[in-house]
Structure 1
């Protein structure tokens, strides 16, 4: 599975991203966020919220933009924030919240047979929202598995270096 942060956004994904209040500009490979969103993210992060939760609430789900892109944003924003102080706490309500019904749900599945998404043994099918939710969870889990496999390879490489009596260099960027 390709790393989402290295793949291009489709025209549909770009239109969706551009519609979000947190996004200033989108290209096929990059997302530029508004300064207000960056400040709001860092405020919420300092208050204990996870980066993925902050992005998800703004309509920027990891299934769409990838965990790595979120991690890199926060790392970059933390570096630039070191000298900045926003002068206190902002209100608890973020202006970048996107309602659950307006959030990204992934690509639509083509209908099968008589217009339903799939049939089960008792010939019933879940409604499309349930299927879309399932597809989103599967995509998120697949992305997390890829991350964990990468981490295992790094740790194995490090252990091999320790067993050889020396420090092994960090592996080149993986998949």
Structure 2
């Protein structure tokens, strides 16, 4: 397997069998909406795009690192624009809005599927119209999703604290050098 470029017939068959892939041609992959939404949420929460793609059965050495990078950048920009409008939101607020939208989409799909199969609507939880665009607290998420988001945010905080400590160390060194020259 190699990254980027045209796919072989075998690679096309492999990719077509993945839930994350909606369609694939010799030189293009179209990802499922669900995969794009989940990928964007996980990426904003601090996960590596290559890890997300690998876990979806899309190895970077087949898909191509550049293709992954460009896709995630495009999805992130579209997601941020779709939920924030003119407002400035931090990543956790964007994630919460995306998760809420994703949950509404799942409920709508379930409702439509149940209507098609004759299952009464009362058996499916429905979100109120007032929930549209509402801010979701971590407590409103299911345990797995909340745990993932909290873990990722803790990891990101740790990374930022280490970077801050490194900057403070470099700043102290620079002050020492300046003091030594004056």
Greater percentage in helix: 2
TM-score, length-normalised on structure 2?
Answer: 0.46
Radius of gyration: which is bigger?
A: 2
